[in-house]
Every structure is written in C-alpha cells, then in structure tokens.
Structure 1
Amino acid sequence: MTKTVSDFIIEQLAVWDVKYVFGLPGTSALGLVEAIRKSNQLQFIQVRHEETAALAASAYSKLTGEIGVCLSIAGPGATNLITGLFDAKMDKTPVIALTGQVKRTFIGPGTFQEIDQEALFNPVAVFNKTICTREQSKELTSLAIKYACTCQGVAHLAVPNDVQKEEWTEQPVSKENFIPLTRILPDKEVILEAQRLLNQAQAPVIIAGFGAKEAQKEVLALSEKMDAPVATTFRAKGLISEFHPYSLGALGKTGSPVARKIVQRADLLMVIGSSFSEQTSVPLDKDIVQIDLNPIHLSKTTPVKLPLWGDSKTTLRAILDGLPAKKNASFIESMAKEKQSWLEKIKQEADAREIPIRPQYLVKTLEEIIPEEAIITIDVGDNGFWMGRNFRSKGQTLLMSGYLGTMGFGLPAALAASLAYKDKKVFCLTGDGGFTQVMGDFLTLVRYNLPVVVVVFDNRELAMITVEQKSEGYPVFATELQPLDFVGFAHSAGGIGLQVNTPEELQPALKEAVHSNKPVIVDVLLEPRRIF
C-alpha cells in the first residue's frame, strides 16, 4: 500500500509514544484520519465537540507528562479547539494540534471553511506552521514535537487536504537524542545559602506548587527534616497526603483558612515550583527561598531573598544533602492547634441533617469513599471552591484547569485520565453549569466503555458567580440555571444515572457508582448558598 504524508506524520507521532488522538473527522482532515485508522499504535478517540478534544489532549499531557494530540478539520473545527489549547498554553503542557486545511489552490481567495489558520493559532502556539509540500513534512513535524516538548506548549500543524494524500515514503526521525535530557542544578554557593537560611529559620513553611509534582518525596523529606509545615497551591493539592500532620492543605482563595494563618506566621517561606498566582496569594513581605525551573517565575513580581534556578527534585536533593535536622517545637505546636480547630469546624459544617444537602457534607462523603489511588478531575465553579477548602486528599491525583480556569474542563479531563490509567478509578467532580457545557461527551465515555464516576454538584445555579456579584455589590442576575434530568440523560446515553436528594441517599449512591463498570452520573441536589 502506498504511504502518504499523513502516514508519515502519524508514524512520527507514534515514535514519540503518542497513543491517542482526540478529535472529529471531516472533509479537510480525512487523509490524517485514515492514517490513524490504519495505525496499530495510535487510537482515534472520536469526541462530540472539538473543545473536548483539545481539553482532553491538554489534560492527558498534564497527567502523564507525554504529548497530548488533538485533531480537527479546517475552519470551524479549528476555531473550536482554541479554548482547550489555551488551557495547555497557560498551564505549560505539551500538546500538538493537527488541523486539516483546504487544498493549496484554494488558500487565500476565501473558499468554503478556509480561514487564516496561522493567524488563528499564533496567540496560542509556540510553533505554528502549514505543511505546504511533502518535503516539508519531515522537518516541520519534528520541529513541532521539539517545540511542544522543550517550550512546554502548543504546536500547531495545518496540513492541506491535497498534501495529506501525496505519496511519501520517508522514514520517521528517531526519538533517541532528539531532545537531550537535562537536570538544572543551582551553583554550590546558592545551595549552601539556602541551607543556611533554612537552618536559621524558627518558623519555616514550605509552599509547593505544581512544578514540584516530581519531587513529592523530597518535599516531604524537607518538611520532616526542618519541622516545616507544607501548604500547596490548589493545582498541586494532593502532592502530599493532607492527613499528614504537617500538611496545611491548599493556600489561596480556593484553600483552607488554616493554611493562610500559618503562612502569615512564617519567618521563611520555601516556595517550590509555584508561579505566584494571585489565586494562591503568597505573601511577598516574607523572606522567600524560591526554586523554579522557569527563570521567568523567579522573583516574578518582587525580588525574593534567594532565587534558585533548577528543577525541584534535583535542587531539593542537593539542599537535603548535608542539611542538619532541627525542631521548631513551639511553631509546630501552634500549627497543630490551629489545624485541630479547623478540622472541628469543617466537621460541624458537614451537617448530615440538612436538606438540601450541604456541599460540605458531599465533600466529606467523597473524602471517605474515593480511593487513595484514584484520579479526580475538578471542574471550575463552586464545586472547586468546596474541594479546595474542605476536601482532604489522601494523595489522590487531582487534575484541573489552572491559569485559564475554564468551565467544562472536568469531563474531558476524566475522559483522558480514564484512557491513560485504565487500572484507576476516575472521578469527575463538576457543577451543573460546567457539566452542561460538555455533557454530550458523556456519550464518548459510554462509547469507549470508560467507567468514570461523574458527580454533579447540582445547585441549579452559577453559585460562584452569585457570590462574586454579591461581594461586588451587584444584584444577583443571570445565574439561575434551568433544572435538567441528569439521571434520565445518563440512562438515555447508555450509562447509569443515580439521583441523590437527601443525605441518607448519598453514601449508598456513591458506593454503587464506585463499583460500576459503566459510566455513571450521580446527580446530587445541593444547597446553593455558602453556609459556614
């Protein structure tokens, strides 16, 4: 069988261990889709909307560290990818977007579904090219992979319909030595200064961000050696078990009050892999030792006491080597008291007698039921607020839209997680607002037999927006949501639907969902107000 440019592109992606391509077929991309169909290494995951394809590719990459790939037709398919690709761009994760394009002779005059795709993708992509000849396919595909991986961002390749089908027998480029593996370690003098500052601190606190995800053991080792409590950013929640005595939970607007209190009492902050988002609200009036692989993030908004340019794992190991152990008894004792008071408060908030069910009770029940090895995808909305504030992670992997904060992320992320880790239970925690933006792709879970548990925080309201309107002195407007029969939808899609209206129904429904071998929607009718 004659090999084509499309075959070459797909074979090159396979060399880089790409396993899935999320997308929708269409006229201008049929050559690429056919190449995937023929491949015995890649699987095409047909979604219901291109936004889901891009969000799933972004989530897959965040979760696995591998390249995520999405595909669309020219024109409207390409425009539908943009939200998901901006999620990848802003959270710095490697994704390749493949788009079809009209035949070369039609590029420019303005034919059917022909838009300026390079102009469209310029704001979102670190690499953005059209493969205009078969001879370009080898170099441009390789460069797209290199840019996506080294710049940790989106690379876009548009392939005109006629180029896709041209004969091309070139062999793909080997992955070996294509991108050198590097570990960045600060100078010895800087490591020694970090050790000195840690050693003299009487109330050190560690703030671990998503950039510390590969250094979980090292973060915990430093915490225990230095008697230093650990707060995480919301995106890094679950980096260490929040049942550990030194865990403070998440810091920031979507976090616990105890984390804010203890961080404010610190005399030194060790900030690891955090970009100093306003959502985290790292206090800048403290002495800060900062570790980051991205030098742009070092002293990002104001100079810190000691910036260390290096990857978290290697740098922390160097700091730990030769660092004397110490005790900060009075600081740890005050932290433990604050923490105990906080735990008692959230226990009281989770009142099992209230109807409608309080979000705190739902979160407490999820905490008890979700397995330690599970993957949890969290959508944007009031459900995220309650998960950040009240949920205590046992070390589960949490996945969310970080800097972009797009509603609708939860379901596509759960789709990607269930494909990436078929041996783990995946939970999608979403509001009724976020879920209805992408609920068509519950059908995709059914199609590929992915037993995701979708828990809908059903308050029939854009509750977070209601809170924001009230806090800014506006009247509540346009936040009420039309009720929907999610249980009926689940059944009609071929999945399972479970309705929960009272606290007594909640635990049995969640347990049934956990043991199901089909996709499940658990619709939990909730109190929309924030009652503390």
Structure 2
Amino acid sequence: MASEQTVADALVARLRDWDITRVFGYAGDGINTLLGALQRSGAPEFIATRHEELAAFMACGHAKYTGHVGVCTATQGPGAIHLLAGLYDAKLDRRPVVAIVGQVVSTALGSGYLQEVDLHALFKDVCAQYVQTVFAPEQALMALDNAMRTALATSTPTCLIIPHDVQQAKMPEQLEHSHGVVPSAAVAARPQVRAPEEQLRAAADVLNAGERVALLVGRGGAGAVDEIAAVTDILGAGVTVSLLGKPVLDESAPWHTGVMGHLGTTASAHLMAECDTLLIVGCNDPWTEFYPAPGQARAVQIDVEARVVGAKYPVEAPVIGDAAHALSALLPMLTRNDAREWQRRVNDWVRHWDQLASDRRDVVGTGANPEAVVGALTELLPDNARVAVDVGSSTYWYARHLRLPRGVPAHVSSYLASMGCALPYGIAAKLDAPDRPVVALVGDGAMQMNGLLELITLADRWRQWPDPRFVVLVLHNRDLTEVSWEQREMEGNPRFPASQKVPEFPYAAYAELLGLGSARITESGQAAEAWERALSADRPFVIEAMVDAATPLLPPLMPDEKAEKVVDALSREDGDSPAEDRVGAQVSAERSGPS
C-alpha cells in the first residue's frame, strides 16, 4: 500500500478485496473524498441513483438477487437520512447490506455544524448489529471488515460512518503492531448447521402420526426443492408457500396450493384450515391468521435460525438446521402414507382455485383487467428472466396469477412492504446480470413515488447491456388500490379520494420521451401482444395498462361479516360502484367449490 494513499483509497481497495463490484449512491460533499477514490480506482463501479433512498433499495436488491453484500453510500445529514427506508427493507427481509456514510469533519462534531446529525442515533436501530464511526486511519480497515462480516453473519444492514477529515487522512503504509491497533482481514465464512438426530426423530414422530399433513415453505426452502417434493410424496401432503417462498417451488405441481395469506389462494386457505399436521420449512410468514388455528395442528418447524422457530405458530418439534440437509436426513425416518384421500382433496382445491383464477382473469370491466394483464405474462416470461415486484395491487396479482419458470427469481419488499422498490430492485438485478431480461410489475402509485425517477437511470444505462430487455408494467388506475380496499375491508370506510387518488400521468408517452419503447393498452385482450412486443424489443419497454380499480382486492374465503362490511363501504362511495356486485360474486364463487 502506497504511503500517499488516503483512508478513502484504502477503503476502496478493501471493498475490492471483499469482491464488491458496485457501490450504489448519490454524491455529496461529505463523501467527495470517497468518490474521488472510487474514480481513481475504477472499481468498484459507482452507480449513481436519483435519490439516496433508491441507492439503499438497489443495495438491498443486489443482496436479494445475488446473495452477496450490497453496498450503498451517502453524504451526511439529509443524504444519510434518505437511506433509512432501503436499509429497513434489508433489515426486515434479512439481507446483508453495508452503508458507508459521510459525516462532518470530526473537529466540528457537537457544534451544531451544517448538516450535522447524530448518525449513531439515526442508524442504531436499523443497523443495530454494527454501526461504527471511524476516527483514525488505523481503525478504518478493521471497521470495514467488521461491518462486512457482521452483515454476512447476521443477514442485516450495518453502517460505517466516516467524517470527511478522516477520509482525507493519510493511510499508514503498514499498521504498527502495538496496543490498541487491531489488525483485520477481508475474510468471512458461513457455517453449515446440521440438525441433531434427536430433533429429527421427534419431528418424524409428529409427521408420521399426521393424517392431513401440510407444508408451509418459505425462502429458507431454497436449495431443498427435491427434498420437499420427496417429503410431500411420502406423507401424501399438500404444500403452500409464503410470498417470499413463491419462487422456490414449481407451482404447476398438483399438490402446490399457491401462496398463503391475505394475498394468497383459496386452495392455500383450505389447506391451512383443514390440516392436522403442519411442517414449516424455512418460513417465518407474518400472516398468522391464515395459519391453522392454535391447537388444530401439531407442528414441526425446520429453520437454520433458531430465533424464528415457534415465533409465529406453536411448534411441538423444533428442528434447527439447514433445510436440505434436515429434510434429507428426515426422509428415511418417515413412514409412507398410502391413504391419498387428503392429497386428492388438496388436488380438488387446487383445480377449483385454478378455475376461479381463470374466471377472474376473464371478467370484463372498465379498461383492462389487471389480473388478466399480469396472468398473460405466465406463458411469455423467459426462463432466464429476473422479476421485481412493487408493493400494492401488483403484489396480489403476482402472487395469484403469475407462475414463474423454475429458477426465475422474483423479489418484493416483504416485511417492510415499502412502495417504490421494484425499479431499484430491477436495476440492481440488471446490473448484476446484464445478459438476462428483467420484468418489473409496478402500480401507478409506486411509479410516481420512485419509478419515474429510476426510468431516467434506465434510459441512461441500457445501451451498455448485451441484452437490453427491461420491461416495466405500470398498472394505471389512478388509485392507491391496495389501501382503498384495505380501508373498505379493515375499517369499513368508503374510499377517501383526497388520500387515494393518484394524479394522471402519461407513462407510455414519458417512456417514449426518454427514448424507451412503450405500449398503452386499454383492454385485456391487448395484453399478450404488448408483452410479446416488450420482450422482443431492442431497448427497455414500458407497458402502460389502463386497468380497472374496481377489481376486488380481497383475502381468500373472506367471512360473511367482513364481506358485508366491504359492500357497505362500497355502497357509500360516490356513484354506482360495479365492485359491489363483483365482491358478492367473488365470495359466492369461492364457496361453491369443494370443501
């Protein structure tokens, strides 16, 4: 290391040692020295976003699609504050992200200086596992190494705060071997957690005693696909997945009931309501009201993280270990259940849901049917695509109507459920694999919150990609649809236009203005052709779908009293709402199938 290197230069070199390929951020005087070091080094690549929040979302998206640490940077004060939403997304969805944040010069700390914010207090919750200020050159590399290791070990965000003058300080050519100087290395490793045999045997006893076994699989089931299928076959079980677990399994399997929860399927609701035994694999889904009722089912839970076992449902047999290894070791202990009546019932629920979903996609209303628009992608989605899903009605239609080819990853802000995540996620995915197409599903509310900003980034960068395909579907209905339906369902209130109206905006025309491809559709029948055009385009493409806000956004098997509350709320809205009749028809159709 050259003696003329600054601390910033040394940190950038250390990021390369950690195999960091890009840093997402927004410029500011508090990190100008760091930016200069990135410019001199040429690597990692600096990715400029339109807002610091989007930099943090991109870092989180990078971590989600790659499994590696995402790195973001911002200046002090407002820049640091803007990182919080994306960092909380990483915290709640358990993804490794490191934020490198500038700070005012150390001699000014405590003076009420321009843009001075107590950054330790700001980040102490979101980066609870590790937040540290670097005050001396000798501390810098050790602190960065610990931030990286901690992010990897805990799957959470961490934060390094570096005052401007410390970034500029000269880095010693060699650290002195003395008291108080702590050497470090850019290395980390993950353990393999193997469940002990006594836990597996206790789990086998519970599962073998079950007659109506259900599996609930989350993203922790990734890598255990074959083992899950084998356990399902031996036990004659049915399988549902959390929203995060949707990409794990092939949803075309007859025992796969789809996503569980408020935005899930009727088949999954039946499975959870009628099973007598539950095997939870790598899942900590928060929709507890959609689990079996407490006392209804004996439960086994397999997870590599002991802290989540029993956290959402009373578990009789905890199994702490890697899912694939635990299920593989469990298989020889299971007794084959040759009575297949339960699995036949599961298959009937799945067929009924498939018919319900098809019928819903065929409903004709005002404009295009959003369920049909998203459903039309199923037959056209390339098998090497990456999918980014925003929060809102697009999440519901993704969960219910888009079947992913096996191996296609899809990500959404799950536990934080933050709008505006899809475009930064998608860009992070594309930057990591520019030879793979990306599809982002976005509502018009989320598009106006963050998406329009990152269309600018998309327009600026796409010519660098060997495969330029990046398709953005905008569900344009001038309404914050999910919240409108939540107000009706949870509060019994009619839609409040002053809070719910999304201003009109010409998304397709704006895409053309930026030099991107576009299509504007007003009928469901136009969706397939629009998807075909978008997925064969020679540049990123925006599909503006004028969709019907009256499409019901309701949980499966909704109780009568809740349905009545929704209809009452709709009846008090201005004008005749076609949604009233559609709610009644939907509830009736859900109950017409096999019990």
- With the length of structure 2 as denominator, give the TM-score of the two structures: 0.86
Note if contact 2:291-2:313 (Cα within 8 Å) is conserved in structure 1: no
Question: Post-superposition shift, 1:497?
Answer: 2.2
CA distance in 2, matches of 1:301, 1:247: 22
Note if contact 1:276-1:300 (Cα within 8 Å) is conserved in structure 2: no
Provide the aligned C-alpha RMSD in A.
1.9
Residues 494 and 122 from structure 1, CA distance in 2 versus in 1: closer, same or farther, beyond 3 angstroms? same
Aligned residue in 1 for 2:495? 476
Q: Alpha-carbon deviations, 1:441-478, whole Å to 9, x = none?
A: 11111222153211011111001111111121223112
Picking from 93, 96, 113, the partner of 1:94 is 96
Structure 1 residues without counterparts, runs of 5 or longer: none
> Superposed, which structure 2 residues align to 1:38-77 within 5 Å?
38-77=40-79
Aligned residue in 1 for 2:112? 110
SS in 2 for 1:369: coil
> Superposed, which structure 2 residues align to 1:391-410 within 5 Å?
391-395=402-406, 396-410=408-422
- With the length of structure 1 as denominator, give the TM-score of the two structures: 0.95
SS in 2 for 1:156: strand
Percent sequence identity is 28
Question: Post-superposition shift, 1:173?
Answer: 5.2
Note if contact 1:496-1:520 (Cα within 8 Å) is conserved in structure 2: yes
Matched, 1:139 2:152: no
Is 31-40 or 66-75 further displaced after alignment?
31-40
Aligned residue in 1 for 2:576? none
Picking from 219, 230, 236, the partner of 1:221 is 230
Aligned residue in 1 for 2:12? 10
Aligned residue in 2 for 1:332? 343
Structure 2 residues without counterparts, runs of 5 or longer: 176-182, 463-467, 553-581, 587-595
Residues 280 and 426 from structure 1, CA distance in 2 versus in 1: closer, same or farther, beyond 3 angstroms? farther
Letter in 2 for 1:483: E
Letter in 1 for 2:518: G
SS in 1 for 2:137: coil
Question: Post-superposition shift, 1:392?
Answer: 2.8
Question: Post-superposition shift, 1:327?
Answer: 3.1
Question: Post-superposition shift, 1:100?
Answer: 1.1
Note if contact 1:249-1:392 (Cα within 8 Å) is conserved in structure 2: no
Note if contact 2:272-2:290 (Cα within 8 Å) is conserved in structure 1: no
Aligned residue in 2 for 1:156? 159
Aligned residue in 2 for 1:315? 326
Note if contact 1:446-1:494 (Cα within 8 Å) is conserved in structure 2: yes
CA distance in 2, matches of 1:242, 1:486: 32
Question: Post-superposition shift, 1:128?
Answer: 0.7
SS in 2 for 1:383: helix
Question: Post-superposition shift, 1:415?
Answer: 0.8
Aligned residue in 2 for 1:428? 440
Note if contact 1:373-1:397 (Cα within 8 Å) is conserved in structure 2: no
CA distance in 2, matches of 1:511, 1:25: 38
CA distance in 1, matches of 2:205, 2:221: 22
Larger Rg: 2
SS in 1 for 2:483: helix
Note if contact 2:195-2:322 (Cα within 8 Å) is conserved in structure 1: no
Question: Post-superposition shift, 1:500?
Answer: 1.0
Aligned residue in 2 for 1:456? 474
Residues 465 and 441 from structure 1, CA distance in 2 versus in 1: closer, same or farther, beyond 3 angstroms? same
Question: Post-superposition shift, 1:352?
Answer: 7.0
SS in 2 for 1:412: helix
Q: Alpha-carbon deviations, 1:300-352, whole Å to 9, x = none?
A: 15531111111212212211245444434111111111211211121111127
Picking from 445, 448, 454, the partner of 1:441 is 454
Q: Alpha-carbon deviations, 1:119-161, whole Å to 9, x = none?
A: 1111100211111111110211111111111111111011111
Residues 243 and 167 from structure 1, CA distance in 2 versus in 1: closer, same or farther, beyond 3 angstroms? same
Number of matched residues? 530
Q: Alpha-carbon deviations, 1:199-223, whole Å to 9, x = none?
A: 3322211110122223233222322
Aligned residue in 1 for 2:514? 493
Question: Post-superposition shift, 1:40?
Answer: 4.2
CA distance in 2, matches of 1:220, 1:310: 18
SS in 2 for 1:363: helix
Letter in 1 for 2:449: Q
Note if contact 1:127-1:155 (Cα within 8 Å) is conserved in structure 2: yes
> Superposed, which structure 2 residues align to 1:48-447 within 5 Å?
48-125=50-127, 126-168=129-171, 169-170=173-174, 174-175=185-186, 178-278=187-287, 281-283=290-292, 284-285=294-295, 286-301=297-312, 303-351=314-362, 354-395=365-406, 396-438=408-450, 439-447=452-460
Residues 248 and 373 from structure 1, CA distance in 2 versus in 1: closer, same or farther, beyond 3 angstroms? farther
Note if contact 2:145-2:185 (Cα within 8 Å) is conserved in structure 1: no
Letter in 2 for 1:399: H
Residues 221 and 522 from structure 1, CA distance in 2 versus in 1: closer, same or farther, beyond 3 angstroms? same
Is 484-493 or 88-97 further displaced after alignment?
484-493
SS in 1 for 2:404: coil
CA distance in 2, matches of 1:9, 1:328: 62
Question: Post-superposition shift, 1:481?
Answer: 1.2
Is 49-58 or 235-244 further displaced after alignment?
235-244
Q: Alpha-carbon deviations, 1:480-519, whole Å to 9, x = none?
A: 1111000121122232222111233222211111112322
Residues 162 and 182 from structure 1, CA distance in 2 versus in 1: closer, same or farther, beyond 3 angstroms? same
Question: Post-superposition shift, 1:354?
Answer: 4.5
CA distance in 2, matches of 1:524, 1:232: 29
Note if contact 2:50-2:457 (Cα within 8 Å) is conserved in structure 1: yes
Residues 123 and 181 from structure 1, CA distance in 2 versus in 1: closer, same or farther, beyond 3 angstroms? closer
CA distance in 1, matches of 2:276, 2:311: 20
